[in-house]
Amino acid sequence: MRKRLFFPAGIAAEILLLLLVFCVWQGSGQNQSADQETAVSAGARGIAEENSDAAGSGGGEKAEYIKWVEFNVSYEALNRAYTYDVETYQEDVHLNWVELLAYLGARYGGDFTRYQEADMTQAAEKLLTGGSTIEEMAADMEYYGYYREAYGAVLDGMVGEYEIEKPESEDSDKKVWKKFYGLKAYSPIAKTFPYTDYDDFGVSRSYGYRRNHLGHDMMGQVGTPIVAVESGYVTVMGWNQYGGWRIGINSFDGKRYYYYAHLRQNIPFAESLEEGDVVQAGDVIGYMGRTGYSTTENVNNIDTYHLHFGLQLIFDESQREGNHEIWVDVYPLVRFLSQNRSEVVRNDASKEWYRKYSMKDPAAEKYLKSNEQNKNK
């Protein structure tokens, strides 16, 4: 025979209340987990409906924007898609490298461990023969639009037309301006300077509080010139107890925020660089060090000289700071960018490093022209 338990009325009421609270909490947690699983299973699905106050859209309507990106496109896929893009430039059919990668991203569910070059070759040949457009090929892919926007947020500013100085001839010191189409983004480490790295995104960090590493460390020599990966404007410059001397640079389209941290003690930044300045991709912006992990400025509290390089994606202004920030793993991207390293020269009098060949990025010129027009209004 089962024994039945009896409780005084007051205690019974408290137990019922606790059970009700637990059920509500449990249901909320399950819904939250389901949302996260949906996001992951659909390549983060990435589209979140947020209150218009948070999105800043006004009018009482809800705004949609991507709230999560897991960028794990392999070096091999990046390099092959880029080659197709450059080789077909000004041809009847120009293959856009981001569109190719987005197509495969939708096909693989964002999992590029499944990447095979034959898959990209097949897609490229179908486009080149004129038998189909990328929109037609992706028509039945529910998440192609998500991957195009997400991967575009990472890559759209890195390939295009630009002008750069080159030697007039192999044995000449005279420089002339030449026009190119191709990779106009650079490795963050200047040419000829050695460094080592590995994929350390997400590993544990404990200074201040336990957290994940949301960037990529590149170990090298103190004073190694650090260059701007993409053209943009300086928004942050100074001391932070976690990053030490650091620089933050926004892309002109507002989608990318580049973070360069642990710069050199005493002389961390390039001469005359200030917040608000426009920099061209490949410009020297600072020097490698090991500052940080201290509330006191200009302290070397990190064991190894290295650059912490981070890339944050921004689809809505509410994502710039706080719990909604999106940082991506740039390890394969840094490997890809290593094919384009800015050549620098040293001024022995000032001991400063400068890029050897100047560059004109149309995106920078457009931004400066727009700013000038706004000032004259």
Which pLDDT score is estimated for 341? 98
Which pLDDT score is estimated for 210? 65
**Report field, pTM of the whole predicted structure over 0.85:** no
d(CA 270, CA 266): 12
Structure tokens at 188: 């963050």
| 147 φ/ψ angles, rounded to the nearest 5 degrees | -65, -35
- Residues of the chain with pLDDT below 70 are 1-63, 206-211
> What's the one-letter identity of residue 301?
N
Residue pLDDT, tens place only, 283-293: 999 999 999 99
DSSP of 73-132: --HHHHHHHHHHHHHTTTSSSPPPHHHHHHHHHHHHTT-GGG--HHHHHHHHHHHHTTS-
| Nearest C-alpha neighbor of 130 from the set 79, 191, 88 | 88
Which pLDDT score is estimated for 203? 82
